[in-house]
Structure 1
Amino acid sequence: MMAAMHRRAAGRPDVATIRTEWEIRDERFRGIGGDRFVQVLFEGGRWLEGPVYSPAWRSVLFSDIPNNRVLRFDETTGAVGVWREGAGYANGRTLDRAGRVITCEHGTRSVSRIEPDGTRTVLADAWDGHPLNSPNDVVTRADGTIWFTDPAYGIDSVYEGHPGETETGGCHVYRVGTDGAVTRVANDFDRPNGLAFSADERTLYITDTGRRHLRRFTLGPASTAGTAGTDGPLSGGEVIAECDAGGYDGIRLDAAGRIWGAAADGLHCLAPDGTLLGKLLLPEICSNLTFGGPRGNTLFVTATNTLYSLMVNVTGARYPDATAQ
């Protein structure tokens, strides 16, 4: 792995960088590349998570979970400031089709949405009458449904939330319908974490950090008994990839359907069938990533204390926080 050594970007003495290091595992990865140096945008966090890019704001929002705050990187100025303090020990987030921020909150054991006027709406905080554990990561679908994972990291200790007990019978994956109903869609995980839809939204990839692998699910046919326009239960769930460096955390897809996953040694790039194509090596444990920038080809990566960015020659897929044209 590369040494954690910084240099200053030419013409930008305020921006530290590290040399980009790609590790090729499959010939299909050989054409992927980008900037020669990865930019270090922010280094003052404790455990950074949940990046999402807002095209309207030209900004990245990301969580500093132990410090109970959400930070904002302004792409136009390079400045990083506090967006929300006392943020419910927020973790993962996404944007809905209206550009509103949807966030998983450990401290409140809920999934919430920030309205245009700044007010907070709770979208989910219980299943079958039982409080959730600590929602972790979230994605939305074109039919208006919201899908999220619910491991127990936020109730395990005071580090990422408030100690508590699991009352749902385990760590599961849920869907919030357009009618607000919360449905459990998968109940056989240890620690479900990152999740992402394929471009056609018929396939859902979900990581299980506890078991260090990635699973692939297929959405079933439309259910006449459920919310209109919502597909039926998930099927499949086969393991398609095992992580060889820690456990997979957050994931995103690019426009070619490749899966980019955060791991202990950087970002892993996988083919849709789970084959490891290559890695972007980074000097810290990576938690999550998002594609952003004006053309959707800038990777923003949260990794332990640091927010990194790298412009690449691939674009993010068309799902809630992607901007590929």
Structure 2
Amino acid sequence: MKLKKLSAQCLLALGSLLALGAAQAQERVTAAIPGVVNAGTPIEFIQDGFKGTEGPIAAPDGAVLFTENNNARIIRIAPDNTTSVFLDNTNGANALAYSPEGELVAVQTIEPRVGVILPQGNARTLAVKVDDSLGFGRPNDLVVDKKGFVYFTDSGANGAVKPDPTKTAAPAVYRISPEYVIERIAKDITRPNGITLSPDEKTLYVANTAGEHIYAFDIDAKGKVGPRREFAHLEGLRQTENGPSSGADGLVVDAEGRLYVASNTGIQVFSAKGEPLGTIALPKQPQNLAFGGPGKKYLYVVGRGAVYRIPTLTAGYAGRAK
């Protein structure tokens, strides 16, 4: 009996040590990035084990939403970091944005489309085909400007559900007008992924997962989008059969116009001029990110099934949800 009791105590102690080791493995602090984070800022671990983590966005009630795309649902992170299911049956929503009217817009991947998913009484499709009647491959990320224009990327048929290539458009960047007119902005980016706008909405940023650069497009006063240009060169390139890849994914800007990029090395931060400022390394490779919480002074990061939160020195841009 004593031997059995001792064994149980040993097992309990071993379990506690393993749990402690797992928690310590999640703990990480940042290096200093002026205006972004102080050295030693804790990277707060929220939760792991999600099946797909994408598309975080600040919600109007102070919470943060993100998509668990492989389970076709949206998860809510409360201000106290507890999580709950916010919405089921999302058609594989991958990224989220709010329209100027407060509608929740999503790029969706099971039946590829872009559409309003909330409020449910006003749910509708904004785009399901491009101008040549070809369907989308895998709509990936989006941002909605103050005028209601929806900018989004289609990274091509690279998801679990592979549409017919003879009926699927090549990877591209698009814009949908408030009148539902779709315009192709770029079709020469190998794998367009993350997308966002500068605070003044005069610059559109697009990440190329399969390349070395973040691209920028100037938008003039009449809304015309100019040609692409190289904005920032990314670090941590990995060689693939198609050349070097940055793994660039989600993008977000702060109130000072800095651009934050989820990539192979973590969160790479650039000035509004494209100058590299530093990198926040994470326990797992990030996929997407957004500012949220009180005053939008926390950077929420999702990736590889895990969710983290980092307090920042500069708040996220307040003029849009993301």
Q: TM-score range by the shorter chain?
A: 0.7 to 0.9
Q: Cα offset for 1:99?
A: 2.5
- Residue 193 of structure 2 is matched in structure 1 by 193
Can you give the 5+ residue segments of structure 2 that lack an aligned partner in the other structure? Answer: 1-20, 237-245
Partner AA of 1:44 in structure 2: G
Which of 150, 172, 179 is the aligned partner of 1:146?
150
Can you give the 5+ residue segments of structure 1 that lack an aligned partner in the other structure? Answer: 8-15, 223-230
SS in 2 for 1:283: coil
Q: Distance in 2 between matches of 1:205 and 1:108?
A: 26
- Residue 18 of structure 2 is matched in structure 1 by none
- Residue 37 of structure 1 is matched in structure 2 by 42
Q: Cα offset for 1:176?
A: 0.7
Q: Distance in 1 between matches of 2:153 and 2:35?
A: 33
- Residue 295 of structure 2 is matched in structure 1 by 295
- The verdict on how the C-alpha distance between 1:118 and 1:81 changes in structure 2, with shifts beyond 3 A counting, is farther
- Residue 158 of structure 2 is matched in structure 1 by 156
In the superposition, the TM-score normalised over structure 1's length comes to 0.83
Q: What does 1:71-110 correspond to in 2, within 5 Å?
A: 71-75=75-79, 77-110=80-113
Does the CA-based 8 Å contact 2:214-2:233 persist in structure 1?
yes
Does the CA-based 8 Å contact 1:195-1:205 persist in structure 2?
yes
Q: Cα offset for 1:17?
A: 5.9
1:6 counterpart = 2:23: yes
Which of 111, 117, 128 is the aligned partner of 1:125?
128
1:249 counterpart = 2:249: yes
In the superposition, the TM-score normalised over structure 2's length comes to 0.84
- The verdict on how the C-alpha distance between 1:46 and 1:147 changes in structure 2, with shifts beyond 3 A counting, is same
Q: Distance in 1 between matches of 2:22 and 2:162?
A: 36
Q: Which has the larger displacement, 284-293 or 242-251?
A: 242-251
Q: Cα offset for 1:167?
A: 3.6
Q: Distance in 1 between matches of 2:46 and 2:60?
A: 18
Q: Cα offset for 1:20?
A: 1.2
Partner AA of 1:40 in structure 2: F
Deviations 1:262-308 (A, max 9, x none): 01221111012222100111011111100011211111000211110
Does the CA-based 8 Å contact 1:270-1:278 persist in structure 2?
yes
Q: Distance in 1 between matches of 2:171 and 2:126?
A: 18
Q: How many residues align?
A: 291
Partner AA of 2:178 in structure 1: T
Q: Distance in 1 between matches of 2:35 and 2:257?
A: 15
1:316 counterpart = 2:316: yes
Does the CA-based 8 Å contact 1:132-1:166 persist in structure 2?
no
Identity %: 27
Partner AA of 1:19 in structure 2: R
Does the CA-based 8 Å contact 2:64-2:77 persist in structure 1?
yes
- The verdict on how the C-alpha distance between 1:167 and 1:210 changes in structure 2, with shifts beyond 3 A counting, is farther
More helix by share: 2
Partner AA of 1:139 in structure 2: V
Structure with larger Rg: 2
- The verdict on how the C-alpha distance between 1:166 and 1:144 changes in structure 2, with shifts beyond 3 A counting, is farther
1:212 counterpart = 2:217: no
- Residue 29 of structure 2 is matched in structure 1 by 20
